Amino acid sequence: MATLEIRDLHVSVDAENGPREILKGVDLTVKQGETHAIMGPNGSGKSTLAYSLAGHPKYTVTGGSVLLDGEDVLEMSVDERAKAGVFLAMQYPVEVPGVSVSNFLRTAATAVRGEAPKLRLWVKEVKEAMAALQMDPAFAERNVNEGFSGGEKKRHEILQLELLKPKIAILDETDSGLDVDALRIVSEGINRVRSTGEVGTLLVTHYTRILRYIQPDYVHVFAGGRIVESGGAELADKLENEGYEAYVKGGASE
């Protein structure tokens, strides 16, 4: 069973006056089939955690370890992490002009699976996944994220999640900028992937809204660069009622 183990993770970014530490010792274990919600106020470092796990070059790991089934994730390049089974659905997916969605998806699937998917089966697979996310087939011919609405970008991220079948899915603020209908469609997509039991999900979010659609097994409160409280789904209800105020007092949040 795939397991992601994050131990005492410290991460810095380069700021004007030298490196600034954002993650200050994160400990978390995510197992295949589990869903963990990481909740926290803006600036608490929860997106930094997401991007650091995927290997974004902006972040420097200064301490700690991240293991996926015992393999050292921090030693891997960005694409090696994806091939090992780490997937990051981004809050702000990037436009890639001139690269069609269909070309992009097939290139990614070929890279992650280690061989080009058989064309006929692939076309069917993409078509079905797109239909499930209520995406127009014409979407495949558009350039990646170019001119996409907020909802289209997020559906496109979840489409990739469904096609690339990672072991660990990190969903960074996937709910932000979505109207109720888009949120429902995107959540159903995530739930389809979760229901396979094959993926461990790390759901990074500011709001509890998406948790009405996606039931987490664990909720972690993130503040000041680390996890400050962990609990079950009921912790989300507490946050819904009381907000993050209790956790950010004294400037713990940056």
- Binding residues for other proteins (CB under 8 A): 54-57, 77-79, 81-83, 87-88, 90, 93-99, 103-104, 107-108, 111-112, 143, 160, 164
Least Å distance, CB 41 to other proteins, is 25
Residue 221 structure tokens: 């409160």
Least Å distance, CB 140 to other proteins, is 15
Residues with Cβ within 8 Å of residue 164, at least 6 apart in sequence: 82, 87, 108, 109, 112
Task: Identify which of residues 170 and 236 has a Cβ nearer to other proteins in the complex.
Answer: 170
Tell me if residue 98 falls in helix, strand or coil. strand
Task: Identify which of residues 104 and 139 has a Cβ nearer to other proteins in the complex.
Answer: 104
Residue 132 structure tokens: 């499930």
- Euclidean distance between CA atoms 223 and 116, whole angstroms: 42
Task: Identify which of residues 3 and 143 has a Cβ nearer to other proteins in the complex.
Answer: 143
Least Å distance, CB 104 to other proteins, is 8
- Euclidean distance between CA atoms 109 and 183, whole angstroms: 25
Asked whether 32 and 195 are in contact (CB, 8 A), the reply is: no
Least Å distance, CB 139 to other proteins, is 17
- Euclidean distance between CA atoms 95 and 108, whole angstroms: 16
Residue 188 structure tokens: 């159903």
Asked whether 166 and 155 are in contact (CB, 8 A), the reply is: no
Task: Identify which of residues 170 and 221 has a Cβ nearer to other proteins in the complex.
Answer: 170
Tell me if residue 195 falls in helix, strand or coil. helix
Task: Identify which of residues 93 and 231 has a Cβ nearer to other proteins in the complex.
Answer: 93
Task: Identify which of residues 74 and 99 has a Cβ nearer to other proteins in the complex.
Answer: 99
Cα separation of the two ends of the chain? 36
Least Å distance, CB 86 to other proteins, is 9
- Euclidean distance between CA atoms 8 and 57, whole angstroms: 20
Least Å distance, CB 37 to other proteins, is 22
